[in-house]
Structure 1
Amino acid sequence: MKEISITTELIRNSRLQDVSYCIREVLERAEDDTYITFEKADYDLRSRYAYQDISFISNNDSGVKSIAFFLKNKKNIVIDGGGSHLNGIGRILPFYISGCESVTIRNFEIDYQRPFTSQGKILKTGPDSVTLEIDRSEYPYVVQNGKIRFTGDDYESSYVLGMLEFEEREKRPAGDIYDYGVDASLCAREVEEGIVEIIYPFCNQPTIGNILTIKHEKRLVPAIVVDRCEKVLIENVWIKHAGTMGIVAQLTRDITMDRVGVYADPCSLRVFSVNADATHFVNCAGTVTVLNSRFENMFDDVINVHGNYLRVDKVLDEKHLILEIPHFQQEGFFPVRKGNRISIYEQMSMLKLGKAVVKEFREINRKYGELELEQPYTFDREKTFCVDQTDWYPRVIFRGNRCGRNRARGLLLTSAKEMMIEDNLIDSEGSCIKVNSDMKKWYESGAVSRLVIRHNRLRRHNQVNWGNAIIDVDPGMLQLSEEAAFHGQIIIEDNDIFLGRTPLFYGYSLRELTLRNNRIFLEGEEVPSEYSDYVKAHHVCMLQMEGNTFCEMKDLTEDRGE
């Protein structure tokens, strides 16, 4: 392979002496089969001279993105940071890999000089306010006209998405808490330098001494985006913070993550990592492999694997449909193309009605498209429908990972291919594993065919929010069928499961459920006398339970006994 070396001297001697622009020039000139190395150093990524493009990233807010590493239509490229630290300044997207094959990103740390979330220690609480001590050097702000505005080098935001309370020492959401949604500006009063009273009607009074985080950014800036690629490897990369997801991949075949970290720096007082999911995979194919990684302190889930439903807006005739992207954070992302196989679903019951092949697809705009079928299909004009392209679902291997201490759930899994979840420590706030799919809100698709959950340690801390059980299967149809199951087979075996006040399993519309040889550790004193006390299942065609045992409580960090 050809070799290119990026050094601090090269950047100092470059035309604009700007890291983002220098990287842009190198990547544009790089030929296929190139190994790009970095001198180990700290590099400031700024948006001023960065590459810009309009990007449609599923489950994020679309628009113009400033990108430091933009790699498009290349083959056999390795980008090796050599342990370098990438310091984002402002709304800069570090990596966007598009239309590439056989790409490796390795040996980087990614953080932001001014995070997209701020935090403060709770000094005082009242019925409609809290008083915070905020480190102004770390989280600069201005209070004017009764509102707080968050500032920084090349950054400003008066918008607040929401707030969340964290435990300072554990760096995890406080016990049994809920989100404090804002979605507007936030009223505040500066008591003195670094002491701010936040005026808000808290439904539950926060605890003095805890940390209140204030997320003041929409879903604009993920750390790494992989779009329409093949054979991508991300290894030994530590993402300390990003404005939305750590890694998001869409329409990509065969992506592997090994020794990836998404968690707050233990040497920092910061209690949070990324502003949304650690990892997110949309309409991918081949195999999604996540190994030996650590995901903690996020504001959303560990991993989310799904496709996207398109809603049938209008049936023109038996071969021509107008399709709609129902959710605004999926606009511009059409997962269907000519030659794709699709399934047709009745929206209310989510029952599959038939299959078809796409003859042609034309985008009308970022929200609507026109689809032509190879063969005619008769639609009942009294019902509503969704379509799902079935060629792009991945096999999933999630093995040897440590995850938890994050808002919301652990693993969200909906794929029509086999998914293997094994040898992980999942210590989440809400459900450790959630199997969803819905046609009413996010429109995230994927009827599970076979999901195996084995040799894991599963524990949830929040007993009142973010899921019905430790393992939660909730497809969310508006009309539940008595005759057909939406999801296929789920096997839960040889796990250590720590049971609190919520059930071990909750679910419905499932063809087959097997629970065997699991060790169940009770956090309460009472041993359930019937399986129905800890397994809440209905509309399950076949339920098998054997060899599950209740054991004495032990620390989650001890080695698993055999």
Structure 2
Amino acid sequence: MWSNTIFVFVACLYQSIIAHCKIVTPDDANALQSLILSAYNTDKLDSITLTPGIYRIPFNDQPNSNIILSYLRNFVINAQDVTLLMLDNRKRGITFYNCYNVTVRGSLIIRNDIIPFTQGTIESIQGNSFILNIHDGYPTTLDDSTYFPLETPYYIFDRYTHRLKDKTFDYYNRNVTRIDSRRFQVIFYVTLGSEIAVGDLVSMRGKGNMGISTEASEKMHYVNVIVEYAGSIAWFEMEGMGNNRYERISVRPGPKPLGATEEPLMSANADGFHSSNVFHGPTVINSFFTRMPDDGIAIHGEYQIIRQVNQNIIVIMRKYSRLHYRINDRVVVMGEDGVPKGETRVLRIRTLPMDYLPLITPPWLHFQNHHYYYELELETNLNGTIVSNDFISDIDRTGSGYVLQGNTIVNHRARGILVKARDGLIESNLINGSSMAAIVMQPELWWAEGNYAEQVIIRNNTLMKCGYATSKPSTEQAGVLTIFGTGKSQVAYGHDTITIENNLFVENDGVHMILDGLQNSVVKGNRFYNGQHNVNDRGSNHGWDGGVLVYVNRAKAITLQGNRAWCLGSAHKRRLQMTYLATHITGSLDGVIVDSHC
């Protein structure tokens, strides 16, 4: 401890030669936020150093976040061997709001003191319910609405690997009843299937909030910062100019609670990293994400429905009161059928009265019950093609320009990487044990998230043992790597200029690659090894055959070259399947080769 403290003081003394530095200790935990802000605002310092130790951040009356740091510019927070322990996990851990060029570096751990989920073992099963015996040391407040929703998704884990159990799903309960101090009867909406057995391990989503939130900020830099036991999304950035850099960050479970013998099954209650409505997308490199009950890395913008059109003046509606559009932003319009109509710019924005138009009931749940309306004047009306019920997206607020490089995403529920932005690089990542797809690009109207992707490179990634659980026959995103359009049009070519090269697929079952809704793209040098040993029916409701290696649908001007598979199993049927909607495909005969022997 003394050596660490001496090191920090020496480092701070060195920094003082070129800047000003302030030192705080774990005894200052109650006043940590004010000390950081006063160092910047009052003392006019450009850095602060936290000495090693555990800082217990107490309950406070601030809304939404335990620590809120706003309007910092060109500032450094040094926090080597520091743990910020959030006693109130109902709030976000730390929020950076409207900051510029702030560096946070560690190793720094952000951890919730109260684990925002619990876990246990199935003791018995009957029909649509099971008896859950909570593990020693884990919260026994499953029936307390302060900590857990009455209805929440439950997840089944393999008792040996502690990974989500093969062929299990998301199980939504409708009630929970306490039996004694640590045993509960959990009742579900459906009869439980044979995929669940006595002795399986269980966890579920509790209540809580984000670990680290970066809002309306630019050029933030996080180095060696770890989030443990996030109550919601672990890392979240939204709006602003972005171009934030995340280097060697992590999402992982924290230490076992006092008295526990079982390792924690989860690390958070939602995504590992989530970027929403940011101008310039994030750079996430050499980082580690594990045991989230949702996506590893997600980057997207947002769709609004167009309600009225008068030449180049349109009225849109939104679920939330704040609109992220800016004057001169580029916007794209897409029809209900999924066909892009073109791109233009925003000339003027006007906020309209709340409930300006009557409610509508569109097929997509996210667009129902919207109350906020805005008038946009566009540079053009796209030759009169814009009509009511089209979708519009601010393409300059989707996280374009992102870089995801050298990351490891392992053993979690949902997609490893889910991106809906342009000008991206997904390179040299290891995705091992994503329960759904490893990599997905698709506009998701059910979340009102877009957009189509253009100019994206996906190369040198290893995609391993994905798509084994929580993925149903009804999913469109059935491929281990899925590029998918939206809408029902046969010519919805929204994705453009995608390069998929030199990726390694290892020990995956089901469809390995789906190419849909794209054009002018290249798929080359990918390798498929030791896959399709077991039947997997994900996506079968949409006609995807789990025995097909590469599936091409609604695609134009695609080149397949030098893709090779070997050691495929008994569930393999065909190397390549193309529907009649695939046109101008180069390499349909020799672009995907399967070796007959290992």
Structure with bigger helix share is 2
Separation in 2 of the partners of 1:351 and 1:481?
12
Where do residues 437-448 of structure 1 align in structure 2 (5 Å cutoff)?
Answer: 437-438=443-444, 440-448=445-453
Structure 2 residue aligned with 1:356: 345
Aligned to 1:222: 210
Match of 2:144 in 1: 149
Cα shift at 1:333: 4.2
Determine the structure 2 residue equivalent to 1:544. Answer: 559
Structure 1 residue matching 2:478: 3-state secondary structure:
coil
Q: Structure 2 length as normaliser, TM-score?
A: 0.78
1:480 aligns with 2:473: no
| Cα distance change of structure 1 residues 34 and 333 upon mapping to structure 2, 3 Å threshold | same
Deviations 1:408-454 (A, max 9, x none): 1110011122333324344311100011113x311111221122222
> CA 1:275/1:540 → structure 2, altered by over 3 Å: closer, same or farther?
same
Report the equivalent of 2:549. 534
Question: What do residues 278-304 of structure 1 show as CA deviations (whole Å, max 9, x unaligned)?
Answer: 001112233521111111100100111
Which one-letter code corresponds to 2:82 in the other structure? S
SS of the residue aligned with 1:23? helix
**2-structure distance, mates of 1:543, 1:532:** 22
Match of 2:117 in 1: 117
Query: Aligned letter for 1:198?
Result: V
Q: What residue ranges of structure 2 are gaps of 5+ in the alignment? A: 1-18, 257-261, 355-369, 535-544, 570-598
Preserved contact between residue 410 and residue 432 of structure 2 (Cα < 8 Å): yes
Structure 2 CA distance for partners of 1:266 and 1:405, relative to 1, 3 Å: farther
Change (3 A) 1:339 1:363: farther
Among residues 177, 181, 185, which one is paired with 2:168 in the alignment?
A: 177
CA contact (8 A) 2:26 2:56 kept: no
Q: Which residue of structure 2 lines up, in the alignment, with residue 44 of structure 1?
A: 56
Kindly provide the amino acid, as one letter, of the partner of residue 131 in structure 1: I
> Aligned residue for 2:434?
428
- Where does residue 207 of structure 1 map in the other structure? 197
| Partners of 2:524 and 2:560 within 8 A in 1 | yes
- 1:239 to 2:237 alignment: no
- Please name the residue that 1:58 is paired with: none
> Retained in 2: the 8 A contact 1:337–1:361?
no
Q: Does 1:387 align with 2:392?
A: yes
Deviations 1:208-247 (A, max 9, x none): 2221112232xx5111111111101111111111111111
Any idea what the Cα deviations from partners look like across 1:83-132, whole Å, max 9, x if unmatched?
21122223131111111110112221122222221111122222222122
| Aligned twin of 1:305 | 299
SS in 1 for 2:55: strand
Alignment pair present for 1:321 and 2:314: yes
**Unaligned stretches of 5+ in structure 1?**
12-18, 53-64, 143-147, 555-562
Give the SS at the match of 2:219.
strand
Mapped to 1, the partners of 2:158 and 2:353 lie a distance apart of 48
The superposition leaves residues 161-190 of structure 1 with CA deviations (integer Å, 9 ceiling, x where unpaired) of 2111112443321111110123x5x23241
The corresponding residue for 2:574 is none
Q: TM-score, normalised by structure 1?
A: 0.83
| Match among 370, 374, 390 for residue 370 of structure 1 | 374
> Aligned runs of 1:399-414 on 2, under 5 Å?
399-414=405-420
How far off is 1:272 after superposition? 0.3
State the Cα distance separating 1:345 from its structure 2 match.
Answer: 2.5
Aligned to 1:27: 37
Shift of 1:158: 4.8
Aligned letter for 1:301?
Answer: D
Matched-pair contact (CA < 8 Å) for 2:485–2:518? no
Q: Is contact 1:349–1:481 with CA below 8 Å preserved after alignment?
A: no
Conserved 8 A contact 1:436-1:474? yes
Matched residue type, 1:88: M
Question: 1:49-96, CA deviations, whole angstroms, 9 ceiling, x for partnerless residues?
Answer: 4x32xxxxxxxxxxxx1x232121220122222221122223131111
Bigger strand fraction: 1
* SS at structure 2 position matched to 1:446: coil
CA contact (8 A) 2:116 2:147 kept: no
Report deviation, 1:136. 6.1
Match of 1:162 in 2: 153
Secondary structure in 1 aligned to 2:37?
helix
Residues 450 and 239 (structure 1 numbering): CA distance in 2 closer, same or farther, change over 3 Å? same
Do the aligned partners of 1:260 and 1:293 also contact (CA within 8 Å) in 2? Answer: yes
Contact (CA 8 Å) 1:162, 1:216: kept in 2 or not?
no
Q: Give the alignment partner of residue 519 of structure 2, picking from 511, 518, 528.
A: 511
Partners of 2:117 and 2:269 within 8 A in 1: yes
Q: Distance between the aligned counterparts of 2:132 and 2:36, measured in 1? A: 45
Q: 2:422 aligns with which of 411, 416, 431?
A: 416
Change (3 A) 1:411 1:333: farther
Give the counterpart letter for 2:24 in structure 1.
Answer: I
Name which of structure 1's ranges 287-296 and 385-394 shifts more when overlaid on structure 2: 385-394
| Percent of aligned pairs with the same amino acid | 18
- Figure out how many residues of one structure are paired with residues of the other and give that number: 508
Instruction: Tell me the amino acid that sits aligned with residue 458 of structure 1.
Output: L
In the other structure, the counterpart of 1:4 is: 22
Cα pair 1:399 1:424 within 8 Å, conserved: no
Alignment counterpart, residue 248 of structure 2, candidates 249, 259, 265: 259
Read off the aligned partner of 1:225 and give its amino acid letter. S
Q: Is the 8 A contact 2:60 2:66 kept in 1?
A: no
Is 1:196 the equivalent of 2:214?
Answer: no
What secondary structure sits across from 1:441 in the alignment? helix
Shift of 1:271: 0.6
Answer yes or no: is the 8 Å Cα contact 1:493–1:517 preserved in 2.
Answer: yes
Question: Using the alignment, how far apart are the partners of 2:229 and 2:322 within structure 1?
Answer: 25
Q: How far has the Cα of 1:40 moved from its partner? A: 1.4
